[in-house]
Amino acid sequence: MKINRFKVEEWFNKYEYWAKYDLADTCVEALSINELIEIPGENFSTVEEIFSRKLNYGDIHGSKRLKSAIATLYDNKTEDNITITHGTIGANQLVMLSLIEPYDKVVTIIPTYQQHYSIPASFGANLTTYRLREENNWLPDLDELEKLVGNDTKVICMNNPNNPTGAIIPDDMLYKIVEIAKKSNAYILCDEVYRGLKHDGNPFSLSIADIYDKGISTGSTSKVFSLAGLRLGWIVGNKEIIKQINHQREYNTISVGILDDYFASLAIENKDKIVSRNIEKVNIGKKILTDWIEKEPLITSVIPQGGTTAFVKYHKNIPSEKLCSKLQEETGVMLLPGETFEYENYLRIGYGNNFEALKKALFIFSNWLNKQ
Ligand SMILES: Cc1ncc(COP(=O)(O)O)c(C=O)c1O
């Protein structure tokens, strides 16, 4: 099946391995296995337990322990509402494989992770994208969205908190989006991979799976738990949807690795400690970034409310891919071009990692930009 090239992932493949200052990354500094097993304070027994595990397939749809831990991230969910996947990337694809057929109307809110529009298009869906705008703080205009969705949409795809903008849809607006979906009896696939990284107040913003029967939440340990290397994700939805998804899942997953399942359980059971570590880190990084934006007249941005990235506008007449490749060649600073999200004159900056490098790289970038 033909599919468009995945612009963000291909940019990473081409540029990340030689970046001196990687400001394109979306993870909060990763945890090592040693750091993770120290968190529950059961160092020795944990190690013993891991090494004595038989490396069989494990629990096919994910262990009871893992699903119980994931259920604590949502309201009133049980094992039957959850299935375990290869990251959020695997989760999103499985949901789409299960729900979308040729000619189905799909409305995807962009900018977002490219899976949410390129996969439906590759399936032959009737795809419409709704473009968020900076002037609306990267939030949807509900009248516009309602018109686009109409009463014949099968699936609305969205991402909340949003990558790249860092916007979080306020609760009342999320409820209104559900009302819009109900007119079509549409599913809402909400990629919630950054849910748990709201910068102020409760880090866990409202989940679509907690407010809408046809709302499907995807997530993982990658961002919120700083464990991208586990490649462990999940889908949460009503029991019938999960059954339907598992029907597809038998063809592409069998089970996830039992070590991944084990470490993910450990991490999610200790969510309070890991999430507060990460919220502290993203707020440090955000302060460095926002102080820099305030002083840099060639850059403007909506301040992110969640996640690990900002989508900044630059005021120079250079295409974003050209800007990023030239910048990296000349200074070693890696940024992500807005064009990879279908938005020109924007750049994505990640701020959850290595704050000394962040400060230095922003300084270098300013000097460079002012000379262009
Ligand atoms: C919005 C979004 N969805 C999904 C993914 C993939 O995440 P995972 O590592 O959980 O597969 C990413 C990764 O950057 C992302 O930003």
Q: What pLDDT sits at residue 231?
A: 98
Q: What is the mean pLDDT of residues 88-107?
A: 98
Domain with CATH 3.90.1150.10 in the chain: 7-32+273-371
Q: Give the separation between CA 262 and CA 60, rounded to whole angstroms.
A: 13
Residue 88 in contact with ligand 1 by CB distance below 6 A = yes
For residues 364 and 44, the model is more confident at 364
Query: In this model, does residue 180 exceed pLDDT 70?
Result: yes
Under the banding of pLDDT at 50, 70 and 90, the label for residue 44 is low
Of ligand 1's listed atoms, the one at least distance from the Cα of 86 is 11
CA of 194 to the centre of ligand 1 (A): 8
Query: In this model, does residue 40 exceed pLDDT 90?
Result: no
Superfamily in which the 7-32+273-371 domain is placed by CATH: Aspartate Aminotransferase, domain 1 (3.90.1150.10)
Residue 191 in contact with ligand 1 by CB distance below 6 A = yes
Look at ligand 1, atom 14, and give the residue with the nearest C-alpha.
26
Residue 26 in contact with ligand 1 by CB distance below 6 A = yes
CA of 114 to the centre of ligand 1 (A): 10
Residue 169 in contact with ligand 1 by CB distance below 6 A = no
* Helix ranges (DSSP H) in 128-257: 142-149, 171-182, 239-249
Long-range CB contacts (< 8 A, 24+ apart) of 150-154?
A: 150/105, 150/183, 150/184, 151/183, 151/184, 152/105, 152/184, 153/105, 153/106, 153/107, 153/181, 153/184, 153/186, 154/99, 154/100, 154/104, 154/105, 154/106, 154/125, 154/184, 154/186, 154/187
* Helix ranges (DSSP H) in the chain: 7-15, 33-38, 43-52, 64-71, 87-99, 115-122, 142-149, 171-182, 239-249, 258-269, 271-295, 320-331, 355-371
What the block records as the tokens of 179 is: 């009302």
Classified by CATH at the fold level, domain 34-271 comes out as: Aspartate Aminotransferase; domain 2 (3.40.640)
Q: Give the separation between CA 82 and CA 68, rounded to whole angstroms.
A: 9
Domain with CATH 3.40.640.10 in the chain: 34-271
Q: What pLDDT sits at residue 218?
A: 99
Q: What pLDDT sits at residue 48?
A: 82
What's the predicted TM-score (pTM) here?
0.97
pLDDT in tens, 192-214: 999 999 999 999 999 999 999 99
Of ligand 1's listed atoms, the one at least distance from the Cα of 233 is 10
Look at ligand 1, atom 7, and give the residue with the nearest C-alpha.
88
Query: In this model, does residue 42 exceed pLDDT 80?
Result: no
Q: Hey, how many other C-beta atoms are within 10 angstroms of the C-beta on 201?
A: 8
CA of 218 to the centre of ligand 1 (A): 10
Q: Give the separation between CA 326 and CA 330, rounded to whole angstroms.
A: 6
Q: What is the mean pLDDT of residues 261-272?
A: 96
CA of 163 to the centre of ligand 1 (A): 9
Q: What is the mean pLDDT of residues 68-78?
A: 97
